[in-house]
Amino acid sequence: MLRGTRTRRGTIGPAIAAFAAACAFAHSARPAAPAPDGLIASPEPDWPQFRGPRRDGICDEAGLLDRWPEAGPPLLRRDGGLGRGWSSPVIVKGQIWITGDVGDELRIFAFDLAGRKTWETPNGRAWKGSYPGARACPAYSEGRLFHMNAHGRVACIEAATGAEVWAVDTFERFGATRIPWGHSENLLVDGDRVIVTPGGRKAVMAALDKRTGEVVWTTGPIGEDHASYASPILFRFGGIRQIASYSARHSFAVDADTGRLLWTRPMATRFDVLVAMPVYCDGSLFLTGPDGDDAELVRLFVEARAIRTERLWTSKLNVLTGGAIRLDGAIYGSGYRWNNGWFRVDGKTGGFAYEMRDLASGGVLAAEGLLYILSERGEAALLRPGADRFETLGRFPLVPGRPNDAWAHPVIHGGRLYLRHHESLWCFDIRRAPPARIVR
C-alpha cells in the first residue's frame, strides 16, 4: 500500500504519489539515444595512448603559441638514458611512460612531469634486427599499462610500480611469425579488452581480457597473410563498433564486440609494409601505404549488419611511418621516397591542393588548427595550413647531424611539446603567455 509522500508543504496523496512514481519509471525506461558515429575516445584523461585520446593525432588543448621564436620554443628540460627507440610518450595523471631498448632488454620507463624517474622495468628482449630499437608505446587503462614488444610479447604492467601482472607470447598463442622489421603495434584498449594483431595462423586479430590476458575473441586469418606494422583505430559506424587496421597485404575491419570480420581490401606494397593508421573521415576511411598502389578513400555502407566498402577516390599520398591527419575536411601528411615532403590532400578529390618539399617526411600532430611536425631528419616545425600553401610559423633543428630516423610522433600535454629521438626526450614550453596586466 502506497503512503503519502512527505514534502515541505505537506503530504501528497497516495494516488498522486503512484502517478509520480509511474512517470519516473516511464522516463527511466526510455531507450537511450543511439551513440553517434565517429571515433571512440579512450575514457582516460590526458594522452593515454598512441596519437592521443582518439588515436587521430589531434590535440584538444588551447592557449598554445601561434608562432615560435627563431631558435624554437623555450626548452624546459631534456631527459636522457632512454635507450634506442621510436616510441613517443604516454602521459596520464602526472606520469609519463616511454619505452627504449637498453642492452638486451626492452625497458619501460616512468617519469613524473618534472622529469624524475620513478621506475623502469623490462618487457622481454630488445630488437636487434634491422633498425634496432623499441617500436611501440604503451597504452594506459585503469591504472595499468599494456605494451607489445617487437617480438610479440604483450605485457600488462602496474602503472604506479612497474610490476608485471601478466604476459602473453602472441607468436606462440596465435601461431604468428617474426616479421622483418619487428612488430610495431601500439595496442588498443577497448573497455575490458586489449586488442592485438598477431597476424598468425590462428588469428589476424584478437581480444585479450585486460585483467588476465585470456582470449576473449579471435578473428581468423586473412588467407596466407601475416602481420604488418600498423596500429588499429576504434570507431562506430551504422550502429556497429568497428576496429580497422592492416595486415601485411590488406586493410580490414572487425566487429569490436565479437571479432567478426566485416570487410577486407587488398593493399599491395613492395615489402609488405603498412604502417600508418587508417584515418576516419565521417563514414569513410583514408587508407595509405608506401611503395604500392595509390592510397584510397573508402566509403562504408551498412547492409543488414554487414559492411560494404566502395572506393571514392585515390591519392598519391604514400605515407610510411608519419601518419596522416584529417583537419577541416582535408587530409595532411607526408609522402615516402619519391614523394618526400608534406601535402594537403583535397578531401573531395584526393588530389594535392598544395605541397611543401623542403621539409622531410615525419610525424605530425595537430592542435588549434596548426601542424606540429618532427621530420625524420630531426627538424621540428610549426605550420599553418592555409588556402593555398603551408605557412611556416617556426622551424629549428632538434637533432644535430640531420639523421634519417627521427620517427617518433610529437605529443602535446599541459602546454608542453614532447619530442623524442632515441636516448633523449625534449620538453618545450609552448603555452601562450597571458596578456600583460595594465596597471593604471
More confident residue, 25 or 48: 48
Average pLDDT over residues 126-145: 98
Q: Please, which pLDDT band fits residue 1 given cuts at 50, 70 and 90? A: very low
Q: Model's pTM, two decimal places?
A: 0.92
The pLDDT score that the predictor gives to residue 30 is 64
pLDDT, tens digit, 9 for 90 and up, residues 261-297:
999 999 999 999 999 999 999 999 999 999 988 999 9
pLDDT, tens digit, 9 for 90 and up, residues 331-343:
999 999 999 999 9
Residue span(s) of the chain under CATH 2.40.128.630 come to 61-86+321-432, 87-227
The pLDDT score that the predictor gives to residue 31 is 64
**Looking at the domain that runs over 87-227, which CATH code has it been given?**
2.40.128.630
| Level-2 CATH architecture, domain 61-86+321-432 | Beta Barrel (2.40)
The answer to whether residue 16 scores a pLDDT higher than 70 is: no
The answer to whether residue 20 scores a pLDDT higher than 60 is: no
The pLDDT score that the predictor gives to residue 43 is 98
The answer to whether residue 10 scores a pLDDT higher than 60 is: no
The pLDDT score that the predictor gives to residue 165 is 98
The answer to whether residue 433 scores a pLDDT higher than 60 is: yes
The answer to whether residue 5 scores a pLDDT higher than 50 is: no
The answer to whether residue 12 scores a pLDDT higher than 80 is: no
Q: Secondary structure of the chain in the HEC alphabet?
A: CCCCEEECCEEECHHHHHHHHHHHHHHHHCCCCCCCCEECCCCCCCECCCCCCCCCCEECCCCECCCCCCCCCCEEEEECCCCEECCCCEEECCEEEEEEEECCEEEEEEEECCCCEEEEEEEEECCCCCCCCECCCCEEECCEEEEECCCCEEEEEECCCCCEEEEEEHHHHHCCCCCCCCCCCCCEEECCEEEECCCCCCCCEEEEECCCCCEEEEECCCCCCCECCCCCEEEEECCEEEEEEEECCEEEEEECCCCCEEEEEECCECCCCCCCCCEECCCEEEECCCCECCEEEEEEEEECCEEEEEEEEEECCCCCCCCEEEECCEEEEECCHHHCCEEEECCCCCCEEEEECCCCCEEEEEECCEEEEEECCCEEEEEEECCCCEEEEEEEECCCCCCCCCCCCCEEECCEEEEEECCEEEEEECECCCCCCCCC
Q: Please, which pLDDT band fits residue 439 given cuts at 50, 70 and 90? A: low
pLDDT, tens digit, 9 for 90 and up, residues 141-176:
999 999 999 999 999 999 999 999 999 999 999 999
Q: Please, which pLDDT band fits residue 404 given cuts at 50, 70 and 90? A: very high
The pLDDT score that the predictor gives to residue 6 is 43
pLDDT, tens digit, 9 for 90 and up, residues 186-201:
999 999 999 999 999 9
The answer to whether residue 438 scores a pLDDT higher than 90 is: no
